[in-house]
Amino acid sequence: MPQASGSTQTQLELVHPLSAKRKEDITKGIVHYIAQDMRPVNTVEGEGFKNMFKIVEPRYTVPARETVMRALRSQFDGLKVNVNQLLQSSEAASLTTDLWSSLRMEAYMTVKAHFIDADWKMNSVVLETKQMDEAHTGENVAARLTQVADTYHIPPEKRVSVVTDNAANMVLSVELLKGSGQWPDVELVRCAGHTLQLCDVATRWNSTCFMLERLLEQRWPITATLSDPNYTKRSDSSTLDMTTEQWNMAEDITDVLKPFITLTELLSEETNTSLSAAFPMLENLKKSHLAVTDNDSPTKKKMKLKLVQEIDSRWKLKDRVVMTSSLYILAAVLDPRFKQLPFLNDEKRDEAYSEVVKLAQRLSLSGDSAEQTGDDEDPLAKKQKTAKEKEIAMLLCGHGAEDDPDEPSAQRSSCDEMKDYLKDRSKVDTAGPLAWWKNNEERYPRLARAAKRLLCIPATSTPAERIFSKAGFIVNKSRSCLLPKNVDMLVFLAQT
C-alpha cells in the first residue's frame, strides 16, 4: 500500500505539479491556523497532521517546525510595525494592564492599548505580554509601562490614562508615572467592574448571584427532592430544606444584583465608549432600580441603601471637585447621548463644560502649532456652501438664528463649538457616538480632538484580563516549556 500511494503521488506531481502560489497559500493557511487558533507549532510535526495533507493535498510537503516559526516571527514583526503606525496617527491612547500567572507559576504582565483611529473606529490591541521576574512593586510596574510606551513610540502627551484594578501596587504605579514627567497628562481609572464588585462585598458577588438565580429556577424540584423519603432522610429534611423566608431573601438579593451584572457586562465591552456611559448609567441605576419603595422587604431596602452609599463613596459622586474634573464626567460631556448631564446641578454642569472647553483649546493650540509647518491653505478659500446646502445644514444642526452659518469651523473658538454642540439635537443612531462624531467632526473640530482623547478610555480593565483566558490556551500542559518570548509573540498574533 505505501508503494502504491507513493507511486500515485509521484504520478500526480508529474502530471499536475503544485504551483508555487498554491504552496505559498497553503503555508500561509497553516501559519494563520497556528497563530489564530493558538495551536502548538509542533502540530506540523505530528503524524496525524501530515497524514491529513496526504489526503487533502498529496503534492504538498508540510513545512518543518523551524519554517513555521520563522513565518510566525515575520508576521509578528510586520504586525508590530502596523500597530506602531496606528498609534502614531492616533490622537491619544489609553492603556489597560494586569498581572497573571502561568501553569508554571511564571508571572506575566499584559498591556493593551485603546485608541480611536482616523475613521472613528475603536481599536484595542495587545502591546506586550512579557514575563515579570522582578517584584511586582508599583515602581517596577511603572517602569514596565514606560518601557512599553517607549517601545511603541507613544509620545508622553498622548498617554492619556491607565486602567487597572484596585490593587495597591497598580494604583501606586500610575501615581508614580504621573509624577515622573514622562506621563504628564496620565490619569488613573480604577476598573469599574472591580469597583462594582466591592460595592457589595469584599469578594466577587456575581458568582453568588448566578448561584442564587439557578437555585430559584430549580426551587420546586429541589423542594420535592428534599421532601421525598426515597432520596432524603427525614432527619436531614428539616436541616436541608429552606424556609419561605430564606427563599424570599434569595429572590430579593437576586433582583437587586441582576442589573449590576448587566451594567458590568456593558462597561466591559471593548467596542463600547464605556467610560462616558459609566456615570450616567450609575445615576440611572440609583434613581430607578435602587430607589426604595413601600413594597420593598427589609432585606431589599437594606441592600439598596447600602449599595447607593457604596456607589457614592467609591466613585466620590458627592465630591464637588472630583465630579467636575473627573474623566468620567468629561467623557460624558463629549458623548452626545449624555452631554446634558441631567444628574448634575447647573453649577457643576457648567464647570464640567468649562473643563472640556479648556481641554479642547489646549489640544487645538498644540495641533495648530504642528499644522503650521504643513498645509497653509486659507480656510476662507474653501468651497462655499450653496444656499440649499446651508438650509440642509441648518435643519440638521439645529443652530439658532444667532449662529453665523458662513463662519468657517476653523475660526470658531472651543467655547463657540461647545455652545453649538449643546444645542445640537441631531440623534445618535444605533451605530453609537463614534459614528455620530465621524459625521460631525468637521462641524466641531476642536471638540472632536477632545472626544478622540476621552472616548477611547475603557471603563474596566477587562480587556487586559481577557488575555488570561487566551493565554491559558497557549501556555498549557503540553507547552509548559514554551519560552516567554514566544508566549508574547503568540498572544500578540492571536489578539491582533
pLDDT digits (tens, 9 = 90+) for 421-478: 999 999 998 889 999 999 999 999 999 999 999 999 999 999 988 887 766 666 665 5
**pLDDT value, residue 118:** 94
Note the maximum CA span of the chain. 92
How many other β-carbons are positioned within 10 Å of the β-carbon of residue 455?
Answer: 27
Measured in degrees and rounded to the nearest 5, phi and psi for residue 137 equal -85, 165
> Which has more confidence, 195 or 368?
195
% of the chain surpassing 70 pLDDT: 83
**pLDDT value, residue 230:** 87
Q: Quote the cell numbers at residue 406.
A: 458662513
Q: Quote the cell numbers at residue 100.
A: 497573571
Please check the confidence at residue 130 and state whether its pLDDT lies above 70: yes
Residue 213: pLDDT band with limits 50, 70, 90: very high
Are 217 and 186 contacting, i.e. CB atoms less than 8 angstroms apart? no
- Residue-wise pLDDT for 21-69, tens only, equals 999 999 999 998 888 877 778 888 889 999 999 998 999 999 999 999 9
CATH topology of domain 83-191+461-495: Nucleotidyltransferase; domain 5 (3.30.420)
Please check the confidence at residue 378 and state whether its pLDDT lies above 90: no
**pLDDT value, residue 201:** 57
pLDDT mean across residues, the chain: 85
**pLDDT value, residue 400:** 39
Please check the confidence at residue 489 and state whether its pLDDT lies above 60: yes
Are 132 and 115 contacting, i.e. CB atoms less than 8 angstroms apart? no
Residue 321: pLDDT band with limits 50, 70, 90: low
Domains of the chain, by residue range, sit at 83-191+461-495, 197-318
- Which residues have CB under 8 Å from 413's CB, separation 6+? 361, 446
**pLDDT value, residue 481:** 65
**140-144, Cβ contacts within 8 angstroms, sequence gap of 24 or more:** 141/97, 141/99, 141/109, 141/169, 141/170, 141/172, 141/173, 142/172, 142/173, 142/174, 142/176, 142/177, 142/180, 144/109, 144/111
**pLDDT value, residue 397:** 45
Question: Distance of CA 108 to CAs 84, 137, 468, Å?
Answer: 22, 14, 9
What gap in Å lies between CA 487 and CA 472, rounded to an integer? Answer: 10
Residue with the three cell numbers 491529513: 52
Are 474 and 495 contacting, i.e. CB atoms less than 8 angstroms apart? no
Are 34 and 41 contacting, i.e. CB atoms less than 8 angstroms apart? yes
CA 380, 366, 411: angle at the middle one, nearest 5?
25
Helix (H) or strand (E) holding 4: helix 2-15
Please check the confidence at residue 81 and state whether its pLDDT lies above 50: yes
What value does the mean pLDDT take over residues 98-107? 81
Are 430 and 442 contacting, i.e. CB atoms less than 8 angstroms apart? no
- Which residues have CB under 8 Å from 86's CB, separation 6+? 115, 117, 123, 125
**pLDDT value, residue 197:** 85
What gap in Å lies between CA 161 and CA 173, rounded to an integer? Answer: 12
